Structures are given as C-alpha cells and as structure tokens.
Structure 1
Amino acid sequence: MADIIQLLPDHVANQIAAGEVVQRPASVVKELLENAIDAGADVIKLIIKDAGKTLVQVIDNGKGMSHTDARMSFERHATSKIKRAEDLFQLSTKGFRGEALASIAAIAHVELKTKQELDDVGNAIVIEGSEVASQDIIVTPTGTSVSVKNLFFNIPARRNFLKSDNVELRHIIDEFHRVALAHPSIGFVLYNNGSESFNLPVSNYRQRIVNIFGNKTNEKLVPVNEDTEVLSISGFVGKPEFAKRTRGEQYFFVNNRFIKSPYLNHAITSAFEGLLKSGTHASYFLNLTVDPNTVDINIHPTKTEIKFDDEQTLYAILRSAVKHSLGQFNIAPVLDFDRDPNLDTPYSYKTNKTSAPKVEVDRSFNPFQEETKFKTNAVAYKKESPANWESLYVGLESKGNQNQEDFSSIQFETEEHSASIFDKDIQVEQSHTTYQLHNKYIVSAIKSGMLVIDQYRAHQRVLYEDYLKNLTVKEAASQQLLFPLELHFSTQDIEVIKQLKGDLEHIGFVFEIMSEEALGITGVPVGVPESEVSIILEQLVSDVQNEVPDSNFSASDLMAKSLAKSMAIKTGTALKKEEQEHLVNTLFACKEPNVSPTNRATFITMSVDELDKKFI
C-alpha cells in the first residue's frame, strides 16, 4: 500500500498558521505594533485604509534590521527572543514564536523597509503570498516600516467573512488602545483614511488614559497601588457613579501585556459589590507585575489569555487592593450610617470659643392688664379691647334667616346622565381581562384559553415598529428640554454618533453642539426621560460598534432595535391595569406581534384542553 502521509508545502503551512494568528486586520495591527515595541521604538505610527482591508502600515524609529535579518524575519519559527525551551518562562518581550510575519506574508502583499542606525542604506523586501518578489537596497530612515496590503487577497473566503468597515475599524482601535495603554512611555499616532484619529504623546499612565478616553475621564479615576512579594498592582478604577452598561473600559495588563481574565474580572466586581447599579460594569485600568516564572503566556495563539500558578492569591490581593482604594478615597460608604456630615464643625470655626446662649425674660409681664407693653428691641405693642363688643353680634339671627331663604330659592344644575354603551356586567369582566404575574408576564384570558405575554419583549416590538416608522417618515415629535443637556463621550464614540446624527434627529433628538468630546442636546424623543438619554446613546453606540449592519441590515433598523431595547419597560416593573391593557392592544396592532425585534417569542398561548391535561 502506498504511503499517504506527506509534509505540507511551506506556503500551505503558513496559511494554516495564519488562520490562528490573523483572524482580521486588527490581528495584523497587534502583531506589527508589538514588533515595533520590541524593536525599542519611542514613536510609532499606525496608518489604516479601508479598515485595514486595503492597507495596514506601521512605522517605527526602532533599531531596525540588517540585510540578513530582514530576510529571515519572514521565515517560520525565526525569532531572536528564545533559544531554549526554558526561555519561554523568562519572556519580557511581546512576540517570541516567529510566526507573525510569516503568517501575514502568506495571505497579503507585504513590503518591508528597514535600516539600522550605523548603516548608510537600508533594505526593502516585497513579498506576495509567501514568495519574495524583490529585495533591494534603498535609502530610508532609521527604523522599520511594514506595509500590509490587500489582506486575504489569495483567500477570498476569509475576506468575505470580514465584517463591515465600522466593525473592523472598532477592533483595530481596540488593539491600538490596548497597546498604547500598556506603554505610556511611547508616543503613538493613528491615521485613518488620511486623517489623524489619535495623537498620543509620551506621558504618565493617568494622562495616557485621559488622552484616549477624553478629559472628563480624569475626574472618574481612583488610583490603586499595592506592592507585595507575589504581585504589584498599579493603575486606576472608575468611580461607581460613572459605571457603564457596557464592558468597554476594562483593561488588565500583566507585565505590560494585555490579557483577558474572567476570574480576575470577578475580583473587581466583588470589590465593587453594593456600589454599582444593576446591569452596570465598573471601569478599570490595572497593571499587574508578577514573576515571569509564575505565568504561562503560550496557551493561546493571540496571547490574550495566560495561566497563573496561584490564581487564588492574586484574586484575594486584587480584590483587597481595590476595596482599600475605594474606601481610602471615600468612594465606599462609611460604617457610621447615622452620622450627618452637615453637622460637622467647619475647619475655620474649630479653634473659636463657644458661648452659652442667653435668654432675656420680662418678669413684670402681666397678661391680665388692659395695656401691656412688650419690650423687644424698642418695639412697643399695645393691646386694645373694644368696649362695645356686644354690638358685634347684633343682627346675626336676622342675617341667618335671610340666608336660609336665599338658599331655598337656589336651583342646582345637574349633568345629563347618559347610559353606557356597555353593560355593567361586561365592564366588570373587562376590568379583569389582564393580570400581571411576577412583574414580568401579563396574563390575559382569550376565547380558547389563556395568553401569557412577556412585557419586556412585547414593549420592544411596539417601540421598534414606532421608531422604524419615525425613521422612515422622518416626522417624529420631539420634546424640548428646559436646560440643554451636555454629555461627554470618548472621541471614538463621538464619531459614531456623528454618523448617526441624521437618523437620531429623525426620531426626535435635537443636537445643539457636537465637539470632539461633548454633545449638547436640547430635545429628546417624546417619552424619553432626560436621565436616560446618556444610557440610551451609550447603548446605541455599543450596539452599532458590535453588531453587523451588512447588506441584510440597515443603520435605521439597527438603531430602532437598540433604542427599543433601551427604552422598553424592564422585567420587574409593575404596571397598572390600564397600562397592561394598552400594551396588549398595541402589541396586537403591530405588523409582527408574535416575535420581538431579536426574533424571540413575545407571547405563548395555552388552551383549555392543555390546562385540563395538567389536572389529570
């Protein structure tokens, strides 16, 4: 029998490796930025075109590569970071497996320009689909420039799986934020389609956070610092009152490497226990420094998940450090709940002597005297009693009789009593047609049995069709605010809101100003509370960034779904009888009453026969 096992060609092996390393343009951004950091650069530029599908270019001023190293960097498992297996547990750099450039070159057109500081000229290499097209000597600045063009040009199926430009750009910016936050001592610049989106100068950690997420972030941060033999913690957590409904601003860095850890995230959530509103998530930007021997960062292809030797100890230290910071800066409540801080003596009066109050009494006062004088600050009061007080009651009897005669001649107008179009018995029956169960379901009797409606999903369907109609007709009513509402968002979120501004105005929002970090709103849709506007826009931005408005979806449809989800009555809300009946009636007036906007059932029916079978 002939042999059937054979070695894969290099270009096929590289494409398979690329499937693990490069899932989307953001993966290329991550690998190239980490290579630039390992090269010792202090200024790194990232250039993006068409959300990375056309171009991803990273330019750094690091140490560069020689002619041979430039060529070897595209070979599989070619690395300068490790030489022995033991080196895997002493890593202090980003890339170490030598697969990034080889994998990227297998699925894109790559152009590399590099020069070392002591060399007069540099090298340029062009690779297309793992094949070297050219390698020349050129004049170029010190450092390295890597251009990745036409990603997945030779794998059309992978390219078709890429999301919309907005979604892919959001992933790129997320990776950019993670790398920039981990290295505040390096300057970063991001250009998107020719315009500068971020320019982050060298700064401290707090200023780097503010430069990325906006100036308003500064007042939201609480410093966290803890230094133990096992773990060193530094960074910031957000104040509970600024907690968001999305998990966007949550960053863990272990030895300057961004990681995802649900276990450590639970430690933060536990530290904030009792301080957060339901459904909100605290923000945190925490740097953890541990011994490299105690972690394994080679368990995941993208190196975003790592394994700790002693997770329980890290959990306890992290939770205690965050709770200590919240208490130290008076974020957490004090134990003396009955103490009123308004009764504390001001600092400026603490050294002053107090004197007992004095009360002056006029001991010569006689209330039975006809004429009495009260001496109060030289103001005299004279009491006079009329001598002919009996005359006050003269004629009262006659006046009373006269009034009685007048009342007898008065005629009262009565409203005509109109008979109800419904019978009294029917009205009583109708007032009991709905019943709310556990503040979650509305139960109603129907001819064949019983109807159970999920009030949250049902209200979503009603609002969704209303908003979709308003977006189409563009004639939604707006309620004007007495005072303009000023909201602050990050630069990235403001860009999303600017793209949606036209649709938001069609459903009732009125914008006064729109700067790089703030919004001025003077009008909101009818029925939207002013206190909910920030939450609604925040949820809308998150939905637009995370969901996929492909050819089957429109921006209007996505916006209507998001707004309906935010504005629908939540589970646990008690409804009056009139509100229950109105919700039922409006639901069955919808075009598709049986499903919510997310295609989940809004109600179920149970026939009398099904109920009878339950009692057999």
Structure 2
Amino acid sequence: MADIIQLLPDHVANQIAAGEVVQRPASVVKELLENAIDAQATTIKLLIKDAGKTLVQVIDDGVGMSVTDARLSFERHATSKIRSAEDLFQLHTKGFRGEALASIAAIAHVELKSKQEADDVGTEIVIEGSEVKSQEVVVTPKGTSIAVKNLFFNIPARRNFLKSNPVELRHVIDEFHRVALAHPNIAFVMYHNGSEVFNLPESNYRQRIVNIFGNKTNEKLVPVTEETEVLKVSGFVGKPEFAKKTRGEQFFFVNNRFIKSAYLNHAINSAFEGLLKDGTHASYFLNLEVDPQSIDINIHPTKTEIKFDDEQTLYAILRASVKHSLGQFSIAPVLDFERDSNLDTPYNYKDKEAQFPKVEVDATFNPFQEEKVSGKGTRTAFRKEPAASWESLYVGLESKGTHSHQDFSEMQFESDHQTESIFEDSKQTETSQSTYQVHNKYIVSNIKSGMLLIDQYRAHQRVLYEDLLKHITIKESVSQQLLFPVELFFSSDEISILQNVQEDLEHTGFVFSHFGKDSIEITGVPINVPASEVSVVLEQLIADIQNEIPDSHFSASDMLAKSMAKSLAIKTGQSLTAVEQEHLVNSLFGCKEPNVSPTNKPTFITLTVDELDKKFL
C-alpha cells in the first residue's frame, strides 16, 4: 500500500498558519505595529486604504534590518527574540511570533524597505503569495517600511468573509488604540484613504488617553496607583457618572501588552459596586506590571489572553486599589474616623481663648401674670386678654344691613376635589375603562374570547419602530427646534459612527449644526424625543452599532429604528393613565406586525375563557 502521509509545501503551510495569524486587516495592523515597537521606533506611521483591504502600510524610524535579516524575516519560525524554549517565559518584547510575516506574505502582496543607520543604502523585497519576486538595493531613510497590499488576493473565500469597510475600519482603530495606549512614549500617526485620523505626539499616559478619546475625557479620569511585591498598578478609571453602555473604553495592559480578562474585569465591577446604573460599564485604562515568569501569554493565538499564576491575589489587589482611589478622590462614600473637618478651628480664632457663655435666669418671670410688672430689667410680663375679647372678632358683621340673618346663597366655601367611589353604579359602568395596568408592566384588555395581556415596553417598541422606519424610508420627518443647542462629547471613533448614520438620523428629525473632532451640536430633535434624552438615545445607538456590527448586507435604517425605539419606549415600572393605555393598545394593533417586538419577542399573549376556567378546576 502506498504511503499516504506527506509534508505540506511551504506556501500551503504558510496559508494554513495565516488562518491563525490573520483573521482581518486589523490582525496585520497589530503584527506590524508591534514589530515597529520592538525595532525601538520613536515615530510610527500607519497608512490604511479601504479599511486595510487594499493597503496596510507601517513606516517606522527604528533600527532597521540588514540585507540578510530582511530576507530571513519572511521565513517560517524566524525570530530575533528567542534562542531557547526558556526564553518564552522571559518575554519583554511583542512581535516574537515566528510565522507572522511569513503568513502575511502568503496571502498578500508585500513590499519591504529597510535600512540600518550605519548603512548607506537599504534593501527592498517584493513578495507575492510566498514567492519572492525581487530583492534589490534601494535608497530609503533609516528604519523599516512594510506595505501589505490586496489582502487575501489568492484566497477569495476568506476575502468574502470580511465585513464592510466601516466595520473593518473600526477593528483597525481598536488595534491602533490598544498599541498606542500601551506606548505613550512613542508618537503615532494614522491615515485612512489619505486623510489623517489620529496624530498622537509623544506624551504621558493621561495626555495619550485625552488625545485618543477627546479633550472631555480629562475630567472623567481618576488616577489609580498601587505598588506591591506581586503587582504594580498604574493608570486611570472613569468616574461613575460618565459610565457608558458599551465596553469600548476598557483597557488592561500587562507588561505593556493589551489583554482581555473577564476575571480582572469582574474585580473592577466589584470596586464600582453600587456606583453604576444598570446596564452601564465603567471605563478604565490600567497598566499591570508582573513578573514575566508568573504569566503565560501563549494560551491564545492572538496573545490577548493571559494565564496568571495567582489570579486571586491579583483580583484582591486590583479591587482594593480601584476602591481606594474612588474613595480618595471623593467619588465613593468613605468613613474617616481620624478627623472631622467640621471640628477644625478657623484660622482667625486659632490664638484666641475659649469664652464660656453667660446664662441669665429671671426667677420672677411668670407667663400667667395678668398685670404688667415694673422692674430694673427690660423684662415685661404678658397681660392675659379677657375672655370677652372674642366678641371683637365679629364686630362689623351687622354693619352691612339691618337684617340679622345673612343670605348664605352668596357665600362660597372651599372644598376638596370630589373623589369617585370605588363601587361604581350602573351609570358609571357604561363609561368604565376597558384596559387595566398590572404592576406597571402589563396591560390587560378585554376581548370577546377572553383577555389580552400586553407587555407595555415591547408594545411601545413596536409602535415606535414602525413609525421611525416609515420616517426614515420616506425621508420625511417632523423636528422640534431647541431653544438652546445641545452639545455632546464623544470619542473620535464614536463621532465616525454617528457620521455614518447622520443622514438617517436627520430623516428621523435630528438636526445637526456642527460635527467636530470630539463633539457634536444638535439644534433640533424628533418630536417624541425630549432634549434631556438625546444623549441617552445616541449612546444607545452607538452601543447597538458597535455590538451588532451591521454590515453592507444589513439595513442601517433598520438598526437605527430598533435602537431609537428601544431608548424611547416607555419602560417597565412606568404608570399609565387609562387614556394612555387605550392609545397604546390601539396603536399596537394598528401596526403591520403587532405580534412581535422589533427584536422578534412576543408583545402580547391571549387567555381564553376556557383556559381561565381550567385554572379553577
């Protein structure tokens, strides 16, 4: 029988390895940026075209590579960081993955230019699908430039799985944020389709956060610092009143490497316990320094998950550090048994002696004494009015006429509002309401075969959803102008999301007068949106778009209508009048699909008389 096991060719093995390394353009961005950082670059430029599908180029001013190193960097399992297996547990660098550049070169067109400072000229290598097309001498500045073009050009099936450009760009920006936040001592510049997206100068950590997420972020940050033998914590957490509905501004860095950890995230949530509204998430930007030997960063292909030796200790230290910072900066209530500032002596009185108050008592004072008493002091006794003085209150009542009896028909009396009896008579029964509210959550309505039980929140969502979708589709809306414009602050990523749906928002009734780098100004809102709820509606919209990620095959208008309906619908626990209940029921059954909410959940159930009878058997 012939042998059936054989070694794969290198180009096929590289394409298989690329399945782990490169899921989307953001994966290429991460690998190239980390390589530039390891090359000791002080300025890194990222150029993107078509969200990375056409071009991902990283230019750095690092140490560069020699002719031999430039060629070997595209070989599988070639690395400058590891000499033995023990080195895997002493890693202080990032781009140590041996097959990264080889995998990228297997599924794209790659152009590499690199030069060391001591050399006069550099090297240019062109690779297409693992095949080296050319290697030539080239004039180039010190450092390295890698351009990855036409990603997945030879694997069309993988390319078809990529999302729309706005979605892929958000993933690229996320990776850019993670790398830029971990290294504030390096200047970063990012361009997309020729326009500058970020220009981050070398700065401290707080300035880097503000440069990325907007100037308004500065007032939201609370510093966190703690140093122990096991863990060193530094960074910032956001104030509870600025908590968002998304987890976009949550960053853990372990030894300057971004990680995701649900366990450590729970420690932060525990520190914020009782300070956050339901459904909101606190922001945090925390750097954790631990011994490299106490962690394993090779448990996940993307290196975003880490295994710690002693997670319980880290959890306790992190929770205590955040809780201490919130209390120290008067964010959380604290008990201080050492000193009460209210008992401090004012500065002007610090040299004065205490004076005891003098109390004078008049032993002869008698409040029931009828006659005036003269004495040396200024005191006076009160004369009790004679009992007959009550008659003076009625003096003048008979002056208007000679009749002793008054005409009481002309007099008016104050009275309370008449309250209805809980036991309605037969006349009232004819006009009694046909709906009732149960626990401020459900509406009960009488029907011929039994009764309806309606979820008021889902029902109102359906009504608003169809109304909003109609306005967006026919591009006709009614807007109410605001007396004072509303200015809202967002990060640049959130601003770009709002700009993508700006036209649809305007069709619902929003009027935008200004779109800035980190703020927007609104002068008009839809008639059913209170001015105080504008920020809530837009934050919910941003959260839904980031979580559900609608692509080109998904209707952005449908997403917008669903999100706004969810924000504006009457919530569970809100009391409704009889008129409001009936209007909601009538509006629901005037919809095209009254049976389900916009998220395909039932809006009502029916109970027939037979089903009710069976309950009493």
State the TM-score, normalized to the length of structure 2: 0.86
**Residue 249 (structure 2) pairs with residue 231 (structure 1):** no
Native 8 Å contact 1:539 1:562 kept in 2: yes
Q: What residue number does 1:436 align with? A: 438
- Separation in 1, partners of 2:595, 2:227: 57
Alignment of structure 1 residues 479-490 onto 2, 5 Å: 479-490=480-491
Q: What residue number does 2:415 align with? A: none
- Partner of 2:282: helix, strand, or coil? coil
Change (3 A) 1:334 1:405: closer
- Separation in 2, partners of 1:613, 1:479: 52
Residues 469-478 or 53-62, more deviating: 469-478
- Separation in 2, partners of 1:326, 1:79: 44
Change (3 A) 1:407 1:546: closer
Q: What residue number does 1:81 align with? A: 81
**Residue 456 (structure 2) pairs with residue 455 (structure 1):** yes
Native 8 Å contact 1:14 1:103 kept in 2: yes
Q: What residue number does 1:110 align with? A: 110
Alignment of structure 1 residues 322-471 onto 2, 5 Å: 322-335=322-335, 351=350, 393=396, 396=399, 398=401, 404=407, 424-428=428-432, 430-431=433-434, 433-437=435-439, 439-471=440-472
Q: What residue number does 1:592 align with? A: 593
- Partner of 2:554: helix, strand, or coil? coil
Alignment of structure 1 residues 4-23 onto 2, 5 Å: 4-23=4-23
The sequence identity of aligned pairs, in percent, is 73
Q: What residue number does 1:363 align with? A: none
Change (3 A) 1:300 1:423: same
- Separation in 2, partners of 1:302, 1:291: 21
- Separation in 2, partners of 1:473, 1:356: 82
Post-superposition shift, 1:32?
A: 0.5
Cα deviation digits, residues 202-229 of structure 1 (max 9, x gap): 0000010011011111111111000000
Residues 486-495 or 191-200, more deviating: 486-495
- Partner of 1:2: helix, strand, or coil? coil
Post-superposition shift, 1:525?
A: 2.0
- Separation in 2, partners of 1:344, 1:278: 38
Residues 248-257 or 12-21, more deviating: 12-21
Post-superposition shift, 1:44?
A: 0.2
- Separation in 2, partners of 1:407, 1:239: 64
Q: What residue number does 1:240 align with? A: 240
**Residue 561 (structure 2) pairs with residue 557 (structure 1):** no
Change (3 A) 1:190 1:407: closer
- Separation in 2, partners of 1:604, 1:495: 41
Q: What residue number does 2:509 align with? A: 508
User: What letter matches 1:480 in structure 2?
Assistant: Q
Cα deviation digits, residues 542-579 of structure 1 (max 9, x gap): 33344344444333222111111222223343444433
User: What letter matches 1:220 in structure 2?
Assistant: K
Q: State the Cα RMSD in Å.
A: 3.2
- Separation in 1, partners of 2:261, 2:441: 34
**Residue 535 (structure 2) pairs with residue 531 (structure 1):** no
- Separation in 1, partners of 2:28, 2:208: 23
Post-superposition shift, 1:88?
A: 0.7
Post-superposition shift, 1:318?
A: 0.2
Native 8 Å contact 2:437 2:576 kept in 1: no
Native 8 Å contact 1:435 1:444 kept in 2: no
Native 8 Å contact 1:461 1:564 kept in 2: yes
Change (3 A) 1:403 1:255: same
User: What letter matches 2:539 in structure 1?
Assistant: E
- Separation in 1, partners of 2:399, 2:356: 55
Post-superposition shift, 1:266?
A: 0.3
Cα deviation digits, residues 339-366 of structure 1 (max 9, x gap): 999x788966665969999999xxxxx9
User: What letter matches 2:191 in structure 1?
Assistant: Y
- Separation in 2, partners of 1:122, 1:189: 23
Q: What residue number does 1:378 align with? A: none
- Partner of 1:398: helix, strand, or coil? coil
Change (3 A) 1:391 1:577: closer
Post-superposition shift, 1:603?
A: 2.5
Native 8 Å contact 1:224 1:235 kept in 2: yes
Q: What residue number does 1:544 align with? A: 545
Q: What residue number does 2:55 align with? A: 55
Q: What residue number does 1:254 align with? A: 254
- Separation in 1, partners of 2:402, 2:340: 59
How many residues align? The count is: 579
- Separation in 1, partners of 2:56, 2:393: 105
Cα deviation digits, residues 414-456 of structure 1 (max 9, x gap): xxxxxxxx9753433x44x33424x443343433344333332
Q: What residue number does 2:271 align with? A: 271
- Separation in 2, partners of 1:506, 1:43: 43
Post-superposition shift, 1:528?
A: 2.2
Native 8 Å contact 1:434 1:445 kept in 2: no
Q: What residue number does 1:380 align with? A: none
Native 8 Å contact 2:167 2:551 kept in 1: no
Alignment of structure 1 residues 307-322 onto 2, 5 Å: 307-322=307-322
For structure 1, which runs of at least 5 residues remain unmatched after alignment? 361-365, 370-374, 376-388, 409-421
Q: What residue number does 1:384 align with? A: none
- Separation in 2, partners of 1:405, 1:583: 49
- Separation in 1, partners of 2:358, 2:524: 57
Native 8 Å contact 2:164 2:552 kept in 1: no
**Residue 526 (structure 2) pairs with residue 520 (structure 1):** no
Post-superposition shift, 1:407?
A: 5.7
- Separation in 1, partners of 2:313, 2:497: 41
- Separation in 1, partners of 2:263, 2:232: 18
Post-superposition shift, 1:317?
A: 0.2
Native 8 Å contact 1:454 1:603 kept in 2: yes
Native 8 Å contact 2:163 2:552 kept in 1: no
Cα deviation digits, residues 52-97 of structure 1 (max 9, x gap): 1111100001111111111111111111111211111000111212
Change (3 A) 1:584 1:69: same
Residues 510-519 or 603-612, more deviating: 603-612
- Separation in 2, partners of 1:467, 1:391: 68
Change (3 A) 1:193 1:425: same
Post-superposition shift, 1:45?
A: 0.2
Native 8 Å contact 2:240 2:276 kept in 1: yes
- Partner of 1:273: helix, strand, or coil? coil
Post-superposition shift, 1:580?
A: 3.0
**Residue 152 (structure 2) pairs with residue 146 (structure 1):** no
User: What letter matches 1:114 in structure 2?
Assistant: S
Native 8 Å contact 2:462 2:565 kept in 1: yes
